Amino acid sequence: MDQLCNEYGFKKVVFHSLRHLSTKYKLKMTGGDIKFVQGDRGHAEAEMVTDVYSEIVDEDRRLNAQKMDDDFYQKVEVKDPEPEAISEEELLLKLLRNLTPEEKQRLLGTL
């Protein structure tokens, strides 16, 4: 492994760095489920995970807070209702029905 890292200019990788990377990905994949990662990694205390990998949990917390803000404050576009397709006769009937008694009397008186 050292030879390949030297040959291709990669940083040297040790077992613990792979374990560290794996733990970060498991935190990401589980949405920050610390108890799952703790049990999976074999740590006796959850604090070990939160102390060492708190940047992952904090990053997810910030992303979730931003997502919640975006969802909560989203602009709701209110569309005007489509105008009804109505014939002239129906429109006239609607207008006549909505006349006050005085308006109806005046209209009948002028006919």
- Convert the pLDDT of each residue in 22-64 to its tens digit: 888 888 888 778 888 888 878 788 887 877 777 766 777 778 7
Query: Is 53 inside a domain boundary?
Result: yes
How far apart are alpha carbons 71 and 100 in whole angstroms?
48
Residue 43 lies inside a defined structural domain of this protein:
yes
pTM for this prediction = 0.42
Any domain includes 81: no
Nearest one of 15, 20, 13 to 49, comparing CA atoms = 20
> Per-residue pLDDT for 9 more than 60?
yes
Q: In this structure, is residue 94 part of a structural domain? A: no
Can you give the three-state secondary structure of 4-72, one letter per residue?
HHHHHCCCCCCHHHHHHHHHHHHHHHCCCCHHHHHHHHCCCCHHHHHHHCHHHHHHHHHHHHHHHHHHH
Q: According to the model, what pLDDT value does residue 39 have?
A: 84
Domain count, the chain: 1
Amino acid at 50: T
pLDDT of residue 86: 81
Residue 55 lies in a domain: yes
Report if residue 77 sits inside a domain. no
Give the end-to-end CA distance of the chain in Å, rounded to a whole number.
105
Containing structural domain, residue 6: 2-72
Backbone angles phi, psi at 44, to 5 degrees: -70, -35
The answer to whether position 93 is within a domain reads no
- pLDDT of 68 above 70: yes
pLDDT of residue 111 exceeding 80: no
In a domain, 24, yes or no: yes
